[in-house]
Structure 1
Amino acid sequence: MANTEEKIYSVSEINSHVKDIIEYSFNGYVIVEGEISQLNKAQSGHIYITLKDETSSVKCTLWSARVSKMQVYPKVGLKALIKCKVSFYEKNGTYQLDIVGISSVSNGKFHELFEKLKLKLKDEGLFDIKFKNNLPKYPKSISIITSLTGSVIQDILKIIERRLPGVVIEIYACNVQGENCPTSIIKQLIEINKKNSSDVIIIARGGGSLEDLIGYNDEYLARQIYNSKIPIITAVGHETDTTIVDLVSDMRAATPSEAAEIATRESVSDILNCFYEFGNRLDNTLFNILNNKKYQLKENKNTIEKNNPENKINNYNQTVDIYTETLKTKLLSNLMSERNKMNALKVKLKSLDPISKISELELKINNNKEVLKNILNNILIQKKNIINLKNNKIKDINPLSILDKGYSVVYCDGKIASKTAEFKLDKNLKIRVTDGVIHSKVKEIKKN
């Protein structure tokens, strides 16, 4: 039997205490390093992960709302740095890590090396735009350094052959990942620059993980690209990936297909369009020259015709006719103006006629009489209404008007009495009713 003095805890109480101890021991977020050994994605989108090291493992949960925000998507075998919050699940007495961020352990190391090399080469001026070679507008020969297998080389060839058929294409195979990647590319760059028959070089590979692109962050490869006398276009990884070779090359393309388009920026159709445009400009120039000559001939002909004596005489006659018509128009205009003035004076004279003035004044007087009469009638009606209202008001406030409703006023000793205390036995009373006065005497007094 347990000692009755010892406190007995329930399972829920124990779990609650453990939860407080665990969660308050790790204040805020913590970063845990380990390898993902198990991964299960539920239909709800939540991902349940087991993270382990050499001796232990722990359960982790990545809620569906946070999956899209992860820098690195979790996968089995990934050595990861997990930013999380330690939480205790009271219901079954277990703890887990709630994940808010995932990054690769190797990614951090790669990024540190990348930034150091990037800063070093930048300080040496390898990224300066003033040292970059200009791309040829019409390349006759293009060298491609990439893998001979995969879709990258096929996409590049397809675009170049479509945009600039007839251009010489030289393909140089290389390792696109692994330890031999940078040295194989350096070897091909040396070979191409030694031959010196290419106008532009494309270094390309498809997308991949950060580990796959390590070879393109090699310092010796970057220096070989910088020293190349032939312009170089790089298209390495996805559009969001940036490598050292992209920074040092003469032009960076987002994709291998875009690199092919940049190398053949002036396609056959563009060249044909230039010819057509030049032909059109030539046609327009000749057309304008001919038109100018025609215009000059026309001007010379007009000058000769203007100086012809017969034309001058005709012009003078036409001028006289114009002046004659102008004079006629002016005279008619003056006559019409004077006639309008005369009509206006007649109208004004008619308006000043005494007879019409008298009639107008009589009409005004009659109208004013009617208006005055209406005003006086309105005033009389208003005054009558006021008198009636005052009479009604006097009647309403007259204390004797209540007698008409069956009430009476009782006087005792000449005063109005309304209570039993104001009456005495054998006192004479005067009772006033609506049509006269009644005299009486008090015989008996009763109170309610």
Structure 2
Amino acid sequence: MRSEHSLQRRLGLGLTLGVTLLWLVAVAVSGLVVRYELNKVFDSALEETAQRILPLAVVEVINRDAATTPQRILPLAAHDEHLTYLVQDAAGNTLLHSHSADRQVFGTQPHTGFVSTPTHRIYGAAAVRETFWIQVAEPLAHRRKAALEVIGALLWPLTLLIPLSLAGTWWLVRNSLRRVRDYRNAITAKGAGDLSAVRAEHLPTEIEPIAVAVNQLLELLRRTLEAEQSFTANSAHELRTPLATALAQVQRLEQELPTGPQLDKARQIEATLRSLSRLSESLMQLAKAEGGRLLSDQPQDLVPVLVLVVDELRRNARVPIQLDLPEGGILSSTLDPDAFAILLRNLIDNALKYGAAEQPVSVRLAPEGILRVINAGPVVPTEALPRLRSRFVRATSDVPGSGLGLAIVDRIAAGAGATLQICSPASGRTDGFEVVFDFHNTVI
């Protein structure tokens, strides 16, 4: 699975982000609830403080000696005073206040109940028929600080929760998709020509129907290809014997006929029978290329196969065949030697047929597993090159042939997992035709 489309990655990140977002939403909602509840608690504390201090302050003011200056309550020890209070008479004169009370915070006129300013929350109450007033103030910053501390306490676990969620989700998703990965690996390990059923065990319910459908499709494809290959091979095989018999009879007839029109007709029949014989042989090769086992279990040296095929074709070739072998003369590959021989015959035969007269054909085998067959000749149009891989397609009709050579080579390349490149003009030339068969994946 490519990482950018990995189901495991998408589920792991998605679930982790989802949990994180839900946690943040929960923290936000909890923050609002906590703030509301804290305001209720702090308001209750303001009210309770006013109700406790006011009676004591009234007694203190009534019993003390007359004084024109307000009395300031000294602290027992240095501390931060979050609640400050102010005791006034009906005329608004300050009678008593806490040690750090700021007169400007409370306003000019006393009041009862709660009131909020931009900086403080104030509660006021009256006693003795509204002759004594008390106001208790609390900074709003103190409330905000308390709320932020609570929200921070809810947020800091995220630093541990996020990596733990990611690791836990990743492990859970990976473990849950283990059978799916095994199924993926089983499909990946199959070769291009392996149409056997893919083993699927304990797959998730959502994936199991897909596995069943894939195996049914593979079975249908296998039967279809087997039927086509069987028909092609049987047809070619059944044609071989009668064609050989007919060819022998025609050759015998040629020996008995005198020179004349009858002999010319016999020779035309012989040429047609030979063409049919070559066509049947090509059909058999095509059947092997499309359905045969193109990779062997044990690597084998392909250089002797190349030398044997080239020596065989040199006997009847009208132009020289130049052969370049890898250093050491060894190339171990898992490519089936018979399939390699069929490929060589078709490529070299194609080069001999369509190559320029008196120009050699070059066959080069590189040690990394790249075969090049090059011949001189006119340039094939670029738009016509892809069609040469199809059956019964030829670059020109001036040369006799069935148009199956490159189609056979293309099927062998596909079945072996190799690549086939067709170029015209040839590399480093202004003319010619070049076929590059890259089977480095089979080289050992």
With the length of structure 2 as denominator, give the TM-score of the two structures: 0.21
The structure with the greater share of residues assigned to strand is: 1
Larger C-alpha radius of gyration, 1 or 2? Answer: 1
The answer to which structure, 1 or 2, has the higher relative contact order (CA under 8 A, 6+ apart) is 2
